[in-house]
Amino acid sequence: MTATWPGSGRPSKISPRTTRAIINQVKANPNITSRDLQSSLAAPQVTVCASTTITTLNPNAIHGRVARKKPLLSKKNQTAHLNFARDHLDKPEVKHGDGNDKIWGCFSSSGPGRLHIIKGTIHSEVYQVILEQNVRPSVKELKLGMKMGLPTRQRPKRFKKIYQTMAQEK
Render pLDDT for 28-75 as a digit per residue (tens, 0 to 9): 888 888 888 888 877 667 788 888 888 888 888 888 776 677 778 888
Note whether 146 and 170 are within 8 A (CB). yes
Q: Could you say which residues of the chain have pLDDT below 70? A: 1-4, 43-44, 66-67, 92-99, 146-164, 166-170
Residue 127 CB-density burial (10 A; 0-12 exposed, 13-18 middle, 19+ buried): middle
- Is the CA virtual torsion 51, 53, 59, 63 positive or negative? negative
Q: How far apart are CA 18 and CA 41, in angstroms?
A: 8
pTM metric for this prediction: 0.36
